[in-house]
Amino acid sequence: MSKRGVTIFLTILLAVCLVGMERMKTGQEREALTAEAGQRPEGESAGKEEKLVALTFDDGPHEGSTERLLTGLKEREVKATFFLIGGSIEGREELVKKMAEDGHLIGSHTFHHVQLTNLSLEEACREITMTNEAITAVTGQPVEYIRPPYGSWNSRLECTIDLHEVGWTVDPRDWDVKNTETIVKQVLKNVRDGSIILLHDVYDTSVEAAFQIIDELQAQGYTFVTVDRLLID
């Protein structure tokens, strides 16, 4: 082969090698991007991961504190979950109606705030059924969730009452301390992504604490959702 032929051959060989290396590099980059995307939760973009938290309130409705709470939640564009005592609804139907209209989730907390495990199956079912009927009569929507008082649930009821039991993960014992600053500190210390916070909307100290908790956690990038969103996820 002539010297010119050798030169042409080497030039072609070099070009082929360069193209192959470029393709390999592109493939490696594509694999790296695919692996990175696979590490993110399904449906999440490359942006920052969303942190969700649920505020839940027991023992309402209460004429003064619950009404103030609903106003503050609406101002902050926050949806919460309310577990109502059936016996407290009469005379406060407008508050319950407002809860539903504002997009809050409403569940049962029994009719007389009783410990279900201390009752017969028939008595426990009656406590729950009466509350469900009282809520539905106002909202027009079926009740799907229950928070049993004291967290005491009778597993036998699962065969009779088609409701989802809801617990909590952060409990500042607001009903006991009745001190806004203490409640806020306890919640902020223990809250995590996916937390379910337990408060009671019958105390002014708890309502004020809820507002401070919302303002601080929103500043930290948290999004407030109704509790069903966390249970489904």
Active site residues: 58, 200
For residue 145, give the 3-state DSSP assignment: strand
Token pair of 177 as six digits: 């301390």
The DSSP code for 162 is: -
Q: Determine how β-strand 81-84 pairs with β-strand 105-108.
A: parallel
Nearest to 65, CA basis, from 195, 169, 180: 180
* Cβ-based burial of 170 (10 A; exposed 0-12, middle 13-18, buried ≥19): buried
Q: What is the DSSP string of 76-133?
A: TT---EEEE-GGGTTT-HHHHHHHHHTT-EEEE--SS---GGGS-HHHHHHHHHHHHH
Query: How far apart, in Å, are the Cα atoms of 7 and each of 30, 72, 83, 182, 217?
Result: 35, 81, 85, 83, 70
Sign of CA dihedral 19, 23, 24, 28: positive
- Which residue has 């991961």 as its token pair? 49
